[in-house]
Structures are given as structure tokens and as C-alpha cells.
């Protein structure tokens, strides 16, 4: 073990480099909300914006099963945005890995707002969308 300047202890081994990669890492499995919004940039690159719903199940104080849905804002760039445009549809189940980013913007009324987004680094389609299944029939 090594003593760090802040007084904390660190175990130095091979896992340490792996832990450094986890500092800003988000992994989600969920269903796509509305159809992804595709934006073509002046550079020719594409950007995709869409929401992903994740569900958690738990029992309340009465022992009844409850569901809680969280909505996440996702952003993808380049080739991933093109794939999203071509294949992803509302309701489709996917898993994503990315990093959490916060951006600040100003509304038309001049109010400053902050929005949290997950910038996708990896994505996996877990089931075919209904529209893709219909196309193959």
C-alpha cells in the first residue's frame, strides 16, 4: 500500500489502471423513448439525440411491487449517429456505455440551464425493433 499526500491509502496493483477508467463511466440498459433526433452538422458529421428509459423494481413498505422509471438524455456522434438513424426506433431495448457530460445553455427568455447527457462510447442493440422485424417479413 502507498500513502497518498491527502492521507488516503492506495493499493497499487494491476487493477489500479482499470479503476482509473471507471472515473466517468455510465452503463445503462433501457428502452428508447421518442424517435432519435438526427442533426447534420456543417462538417458533414451527424449527431443523434434521444432519451432512454430505465426501470427499477422494488417493494414498498406494504410489500407491494413498485416500478420507478428514470429518463436519460443520450447523445451520439459520427458513425454511431448514422447507425442510430438507420436502425433504432422508439421502444427498442439497447445497452449503452458512455460518459456523463453536463452542458450549460441559455433559453430564449435568457435563463441559464444545465442539462446532463450521456455521450455514448459503445452501444448494443438487444432486440430488433418492430419496424425492422416488419421489413424483414
pLDDT in tens, 79-93: 999 999 999 999 999
Average pLDDT over residues 21-45: 93
Residue 91 lies in a domain: yes
**What does the pLDDT look like over 16-26, one tens digit per residue?**
555 666 689 99
- Which residue range(s) make up the domain with 37? 15-127
User: Please, are residues 103 and 119 in contact by the beta-carbon 8 Å criterion?
Assistant: no
Residue 102 lies in a domain: yes
Looking only at the bridges linking them, the beta strands covering 93-106 and 112-125 are antiparallel
28: domain CATH number?
2.40.50.140
Residue 57 lies in a domain: yes
**What does the pLDDT look like over 77-134, one tens digit per residue?**
999 999 999 999 999 999 999 999 999 999 999 999 999 999 999 999 986 645 555 5
Q: What is the value of pTM for the model shown? A: 0.73
Residue 70 lies in a domain: yes
Q: What is the pLDDT of residue 23?
A: 83
| Among 90, 120, 115, CA closest to 102 | 115
Report the chain's terminal Cα–Cα distance, integer Å.
61
CA distance 66 to 119: 30
The number of domains in the chain is 1
Residue 10 lies in a domain: no
Residue 132 lies in a domain: no
Residue 85 lies in a domain: yes
Amino acid at each position: 500500500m502507498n500513502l497518498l499526500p491527502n492521507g488516503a491509502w492506495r493499493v497499487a496493483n494491476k487493477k489500479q489502471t482499470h479503476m482509473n477508467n471507471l472515473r466517468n463511466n455510465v452503463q445503462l440498459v433501457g428502452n428508447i423513448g421518442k424517435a432519435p433526433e438526427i442533426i447534420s452538422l456543417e462538417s458533414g458529421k451527424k449527431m443523434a439525440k434521444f432519451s432512454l428509459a430505465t426501470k427499477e423494481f422494488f417493494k414498498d413498505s406494504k410489500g407491494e411491487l413498485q416500478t420507478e422509471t428514470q429518463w436519460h438524455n443520450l447523445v451520439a456522434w459520427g458513425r454511431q449517429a448514422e447507425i442510430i438513424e438507420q436502425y433504432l426506433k422508439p421502444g427498442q431495448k439497447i445497452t449503452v456505455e458512455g460518459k456523463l457530460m453536463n452542458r450549460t445553455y441559455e433559453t430564449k427568455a435568457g435563463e441559464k440551464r444545465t442539462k446532463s447527457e450521456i455521450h455514448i462510447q459503445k452501444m448494443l442493440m438487444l432486440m430488433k425493433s418492430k419496424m425492422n422485424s416488419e421489413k424483414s417479413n
